[in-house]
Amino acid sequence: MNNRFAAMTCALAVCFGAVVFPAQATVFSADDTARLARINEAIQAFENDVGSALHNLSAAESGEIESYAYVELNLEAARERLNNVFMLVAVSIYMDSPSDQLLILDVLSRQILPPSKNYLAEKMDAIASMAAARPSSPVFADYRTRAEALLGGRAIPFLDELYEKIAAARR
């Protein structure tokens, strides 16, 4: 019974996707995945810089370990979220079946992109809060600036672009 219900639900989702999105060529391109990969690489480089600074703390700065680890973990979480978006965008490009592609686009537009945008904003705000908690630290002020430029200036606007591409395909 559960398998039949699941099959019917999946069939309805595919049919719904076919109604919502007209059949057409892929919505995303290799350029989209390349841009997303570059954003992820920049986050990874930032994360590596924070990790390196964390490992190079002197014994006198041991009280700051938690602050550095907090920034590093927030960057890692943001990068992992973007990896999930990357996988779905990449998969959608290579789908042979228009109905499968439409299903992926529907999942992206309804369940992945909006919460991912909010999640990245939360991570950026978390890094900014660490800078606010350490107002005399130029390192954390720099981390806040880098996070705002990378997450707020590149990643979040790119998620908006992906969402708009899907919305344009619906028209």
- For the chain, give every domain's residue range: 2-170
The pTM (predicted TM-score) of the whole model is 0.82
Give the model confidence (pLDDT) of 89-112 as tens digits: 999 998 888 888 889 999 999 999
Distance CA 144, CA 124 (A): 8
Give the model confidence (pLDDT) of 50-86 as tens digits: 999 999 888 777 778 899 999 999 999 999 999 999 9
Q: What is the pLDDT of residue 17?
A: 46
Distance CA 31, CA 146 (A): 24
Q: What is the pLDDT of residue 115?
A: 97
CB neighbours of residue 25 within 10 Å: 8
The residue to which tokens 């789908």 are assigned: 95
Rounded to the nearest angstrom, the gap between the alpha carbon of residue 43 and the centroid of all alpha carbons in its chain is: 11
Q: What is the pLDDT of residue 25?
A: 60
Average of per-residue pLDDT across 116-140: 96
